[in-house]
Amino acid sequence: MNQIVIAPLLVAVVAVVATLALGRRPALQRATSVAGAIVYAASVALLAWRVVLAPDAGPATYQSGGWPAPFGITLVADALSAFMLVLAATVGLWSVAVAVRVLDRENQRVFYHPLFHCMLLGVTGAFLTGDLFNLFVWFEVMLMASYVFVAFYGGAKHTAGAFRYLVPNVVGSAVMLLGIGGLYATVGTLNMADMARRLADPAAYGIDVAPVVGLSAFVLATFALKAGLVPFQFWVPSAYRAAPLPAAAMLAGVTKKVGIYAVIRLYFTVFAAAGLDGATLPGTGVGITGDSPLAFLGPVLLAMAVASIAVGGVGAVGRETVDELLAYSSIGQVGFIALPVALAASAPSGAVRRAAVAAALVYALHHALAKGLLFLSTATVRGATGTTRLSELGGLGQRSPVLSAAFLVGSLSLVGIPPLAGFFGKFLVFEVAARHFATVPTAAAAVPLAAALVGAVLTIVYITRTWIGGFWGTQTPQVGQATVDPVQVGLLAALAAVILAAGVAFDPVYRFATAAAEAALDRGAYVDLVDPAPGTTLLAAGTGAGGALGSSGGAARPDRAGERGAGTENGNRPADGGEGT
């Protein structure tokens, strides 16, 4: 039953093809698109059930084309992947449903729906893949769709925003290729599990682990660019303003989290396996006091996170339009997600580390839901009034109380008011930061706590400003003449209810997040899951038949066939190596 792993991917592919084919039947295309998102959410729910929630649950793998790891491309669904997929499916479902109602029908007909499912496909692949180069390919699938979303309306601002988004990301992709190529040359494999195994025992494979720190910095830069962390945040405001608002909900809610996911997966599951024994960073003379590349990740990501919280918060306070304010806010909020990840990297013990990663995941889920709701509410406001400018809005609370209530729930969750999901997100991040300060009570250790505090205050300031400017006061002419679509309002209220439910029934959410953090940190289980056969015996088998080269196993072949022998020794193993289910 490991085929369930590829179910979300297949659903997304079919949805892309179907919506593309139905371009001449707009009504049917819209219905297909929504149905595609519903089936996608169902397949993700089934996957999450099989992987985490069911009594006999366990992670699963799918070896594409029947090629066993590390030769083929492995898809891995563990608790971390399942958690991120649930996040993507939830935001995706609401995004497409609101888009159908709020966007101009002619605009939808062109290519909105195929692009949306293409983006979902890229996100899904990135969450599931167990192969480093394949991760790059899924990134590009996701990016290609998001470039077009940013350029969607084709005006001067939109093309400019698309260029500001495209050029850094192309350079980022090139930098990621540098990291991947270097890691392949250093470690000799592209399969993440195989890489973790080799890094854990470098002597047996004749590899030098010191270059891994620098090479991991290459991929970290790209992931930070995707996540929009300072100093790679400059593309965020113009891109989010240019994209259609339901697509911006996806960009802010889901595609940013792909960068965070990739940092967690690669650093904690793969690179952390490398033992460094106090190597020094070349040029700086700074010694790595820890024993793995996590010691490098910790301070670097912490600086990025603190700067993001400051830049995003300060930037959001002075904005004149709601969508721009939300774009800056999402820079700051991603800083809140990166902060516990950075503290997890420098955490002394496994339990602290797990709690910190779980805090990051809970915050990521909360931010995806809350920011998704806020962007979608803004889409409804713009659809009804034709503007998102705070000076032209006012009195929305009187005009449409339910819409305002939904926006308020999203806002309060972002601020962190109990019993909404955001309260637990903020609470856990503060707990991690406070615990960090408690273990090492120095001025430097207080920085994360202070940054989180300042960020929280700034959040309250800009949320209050939006609320007072847009929803209180006397009705402006734009608001007075607005007709608010009740279906959209119903959808937004339902998403607000989800946020409330995630806060009220927080225990299962937290257990899911803890299981995901556990999966991210448990390297041994990940390696055994993907490739149970020990690599050393394969090596000893010497030079096998070269026939493995002629396979159609895909673009990313995770190992040199000549070096590891051919797949013949593995051929008698079942194609799906997962024993977990």
Partner 1 sequence: MDRGPELEADSERRPNREVGAGVSLVLAAAVGGLFALATFLLLRRDLMRVVWGIAVVTQGANVYLLAMGGVVEGDHESVPVLVTHGGEVPVTADPVVQALVLTAIVISFGTTALALALTYRAYEENETMDIQQWE
Nearest distance from C-beta of residue 155 to partner 1, angstroms: 6
Whether omega for the bond prior to residue 26 falls within 30 degrees of 0, making it cis, is no
Burial status of residue 296 (CB atoms within 10 A of its CB: 0-12, 13-18, 19 or more): buried
By C-beta, is 242 or 509 nearer to partner 1?
Answer: 242
**Is 1 a residue that touches partner 1 (CB under 8 A)?**
no
Contact yes or no for 393/479 (Cβ under 8 A): yes
Q: Applying CB under 8 A, which part among 92-100, 179-187, 336-344, 448-456 lies near partner 1?
A: 179-187
Measured from the CB of residue 260, what is the shortest distance to partner 1 in angstroms?
23
Q: Do 366 and 425 meet the contact criterion of CB atoms below 8 Å apart?
A: yes
| Residue number with CB closer to partner 1 (186 or 329) | 186
Number of residues that bind partner 1 (CB under 8 A): 52
Q: Does 467 bind partner 1 (CB under 8 A)?
A: no
Using DSSP's 3-state secondary structure scheme, residue 77 falls into strand
As measured in angstroms, the least distance from the Cβ of 108 to partner 1 is 20
Neighbours of 54 (CB within 10 A): 12
Interface stretch with partner 1, choices 46-54, 310-318, 413-421, 558-566 (CB under 8 A): 558-566
Q: Could you say which residues in the range 183-222 bind partner 1, by CB under 8 A?
A: 184-188, 190, 205-207
- Rounded Cα gap, residues 268 and 252, in angstroms: 24
Given 7, 148, 452, 495, the residue binding partner 1 (CB under 8 A): 148
Q: Any contact of residue 110 with partner 1 (CB under 8 A)?
A: no
User: Using the rule CB under 8 A, is 151 a contact of partner 1?
Assistant: yes
Cα–Cα distance for residue pair 315/333, rounded to 1 Å: 12
Residue 133 binding partner 1, by CB under 8 A: yes
Q: Which one of 194, 531, 559, 576 is in contact with partner 1 (CB under 8 A)?
A: 559
Tell me which residues in 319-358 interact with partner 1 (CB under 8 A). none
Q: 46 vs 175, which CB is nearer to partner 1? A: 175
Long-range CB contact pairs, 182-189, < 8 A, 24+: 182/211, 182/214, 182/215, 182/218, 183/132, 183/212, 183/215, 183/216, 183/219, 184/132, 186/211, 186/212, 186/215, 187/212, 188/559, 188/560, 188/563, 189/70, 189/558, 189/559
156 binds partner 1 (CB under 8 A): yes
- Applying the rule CB under 8 A, the residues between 487 and 546 that interact with partner 1 are 539, 543, 546
Cis peptide bond N-terminal to 419, omega within 30: yes
Q: Should residue 66 be labelled a site residue for partner 1 when binding is judged by CB under 8 A?
A: no
**Which of residues 469 and 535 has its CB atom nearest to partner 1 in the complex?**
535
φ, ψ at 30 (rounded to 5°): -65, -45
Pattern of binders to partner 1 over 12-31, x per CB under 8 A? --------------------
Closest C-alpha among 296, 293, 323, 109 to residue 209: 293
Bridge-based pairing of strands 74-77 and 60-63 is antiparallel
Which of 22, 80, 166, 509 lies at the binding interface for partner 1 (CB under 8 A)?
166
In the complex, what is the shortest distance from the CB of residue 526 to partner 1, in angstroms, rounded to a whole number? 22
HSE at residue 433, side-chain half, CA atoms within 13 A, is 24
CB of 155 or CB of 401, closer to partner 1:
155
DSSP state of 74: E
Whole-number minimum distance, CB 215 to partner 1, in Å?
10
Strand-pairing partners, residue 76, are 61
Binding residues for partner 1 (CB under 8 A): 133, 137, 140, 144, 147-148, 151, 154-157, 159-160, 162-163, 166-167, 170-171, 173-175, 177-178, 180-182, 184-188, 190, 205-207, 539, 543, 546-547, 549-550, 554-563
